[in-house]
Amino acid sequence: MMNGSGHSRDLCRLVELCRELAKLGVHVGVSDARPAVSVRGGLTDRKVWVEVDAGSFVWRRDDLARHPADDPAGAAACLADYLKDRDAGPGRRS
């Protein structure tokens, strides 16, 4: 179970990430059930959930794509690139 200060720190990091993602034109949503944000390139694209885990932003649990949480601008750029590549996959227009 996460203590109050860790929870608060993670929320602050997620807010910073949201700001950076918004600057890049990424659609961002906030979970009301857990400290996480959803991101997607377009309104009809699939969501990707981003959480803070062990000091990193984590978004693909299958291969543990992660970026240090103390670099929200860098994480936002990585996420934007990931969404662009994923959403321009086979059969998709870029």
Express each pLDDT in 7-42 by its tens digit. Answer: 889 999 999 999 999 999 999 998 878 889 999 988
Burial (CB < 10 A; 0-12, 13-18, 19+), residue 73, is: middle
Domain boundaries, the chain: 4-87
User: Which position has the token pair 């662009």?
Assistant: 84
Q: What is the three-class DSSP state of 38?
A: strand
The overall average pLDDT reported for the chain is 86
User: pTM, whole model, 2 decimals?
Assistant: 0.82
- The Cα 54–Cα 35 span in angstroms is 13
